[in-house]
Amino acid sequence: MVQKEIVQIHVGQAGVQIGSACWELFNLEHAVQPNGMLAHEYIKPMSINAESVNNIETFYYMTDSSREARCQPRCVMVDLEPSVIDEIRTGTYRQLFRPESLLTGKEDAASNFARGMYTVGKEMLDAALDSIRRTTDECENLQGFIIYRSYGGGTGSGFTTILSERLHNEFDKCTIMEYGIYPSPCLSPVIVEPYNTVFSAHGALEYQDISFLLDNQAAYNILERKLEVKEPTYSNVNTLLAQVVSNKTASLRYEGGLNVSLREMNTNLVPYPRLHFPLITYAPFIPVSQSFYEEGSILSLTNSCFEPANQLIVCNPWQGKFLSCCMLYRGNVQPTDVNTAIYNVKNQKKNWFVGWCPTGFKVSINYLPPTCLPGGDLANVQRSVVMLSNTTAIKTSWQDVAEKFRIMYQTRAFVHHYVAEGMEEAEFVDALEDIEALVEDYKEVES
């Protein structure tokens, strides 16, 4: 396996907090101590093998040392205000991250896309790009970037858009992938979230290759109904999302029966450039209290991926057609069982797929069992699966946010905050028309 490096970029409060949970889990899987030193005793012997060290450089940079090699994450964290990143600077993992990869400004974007893109965010852009360039200079075979951000926040929307534009122009041969926290249908911490989301998506359509949407409401539903968490917090949500990200990136970090790279994932999931917003489904969601009673078969795990309750975004898969699916299996998995399960799914759900894509499935198998954070909500299991599906059902989410945008913009509510930071009103119209056109693209492909 040719070693390929990936640089991860965490933007804004949501991106940094998800990143903290992700790196905690990555450290556990790769046996990296909080100070960056390797220590195999940190995780169970059955959960680590030789490949975990050999492929560690996909996510970590190994420093040269006369005594012991240290692992430093290939990542950059950026926020326009310091409080969230200051928790990392003073927390358990303060020695893990390089100081120059933790970038903060003095004032936040105030949930304003325009502040994140045109004024406050623009002042941070050069520093962020310099840090990213230093990180990429240490890569011998850069595969691409993974960005974590919120679509509804000011920094996550505005700053990520201008940063993605520069990355797209400067690293045009690399894949730019993102995990974006998408507005929930009934749960919103920001009033102007529809504005920020539409502007974010308008930029993502042009500058990013593939965007995975995650939804806090879907995560809360999973935690309450499946994992028996009575009062979920953002910490529970971030730990859950980290588990999904870990399983999705396992094939990038470990040897397996069938592996998939960032570019290969993009090739198989995105049939048309604009339709690059797959949804994520994970199985199994088993609480710790039931870990002794449940052990899902490959067939049951595969079928669970087509249940709305296992999706990480709220939408109804029966209201659309599947364009493509990427099944990422992990753990004690046999290829023959996978083939049988997918064959059954194709026969049972034949009408769920578009007719012009007869194959429809891309498969990855990684033999390393999933690892769970100690004290987390998920039970340790021997196998799991993440399904990345490009489905036209996602159009309902875009319709919902476009309608909220339209209602607010008809009365010009809150528009003056954006105009005062350098935006023009014409940009509101252009962004809304682009998202409406995206919805029509999904309808056209579906029909």
Report helix, strand or coil for 133.
Answer: helix
Our measurement of the distance from residue 34's CA atom to the centroid of its chain's CA atoms, rounded to an integer in Å, reads: 23
CB 73 within 8 A of CB 60: yes
Report helix, strand or coil for 393.
Answer: helix
Six token digits for residue 64: 């040269």
Question: Which whole-number Å values give the CA distances from 198 to 26, 316, 414, 434, in the listed order?
Answer: 32, 21, 15, 9
CB 276 within 8 A of CB 210: yes
At CB < 8 A and 24+ separation, what contacts does 189-193 make?
Answer: 189/152, 190/111, 190/152, 190/153, 191/414, 192/111, 192/112, 192/408, 192/414, 192/417, 193/111, 193/151, 193/152
CB 61 within 8 A of CB 74: yes
DSSP-H helix ranges across 146-253: 154, 160-170, 193-207, 216-225, 234-253
DSSP 310-330: GBSS---GGGS-EEEEEEEEE
Q: Judging by DSSP bridges, how do beta strands 279-283 and 175-182 pair with one another?
A: unpaired
Across the beta sheet with 5-11, the strand order is 102-104, 75-79, 5-11, 142-150, 175-182, 210-215, 279-283, 383-391, 322-331, 361-366
Extended beta strands in 38-174, E state: 60-63, 70-73, 75-79, 102-104, 142-150
Q: Tell me the C-alpha distance between 329 and 342, whole Å.
A: 12
- CA torsion 234→371→304→222, rounded to 10°? -20
Task: Return the number of other C-beta atoms located less than 10 Å from residue 294's C-beta.
Answer: 12
Contacts of 339 by beta carbon, 8 Å cutoff, 6+ apart? none
**φ, ψ at 192 (rounded to 5°):** -90, 20
Catalytic, out of 51, 87, 165, 264: 264
Task: Return the number of other C-beta atoms located less than 10 Å from residue 48's C-beta.
Answer: 21
**Does residue 231 carry a catalytic annotation?**
no
Q: For residue 280, what are the β-bridge partners?
A: 388
What amino acid positions are annotated as catalytic residues?
Answer: 264
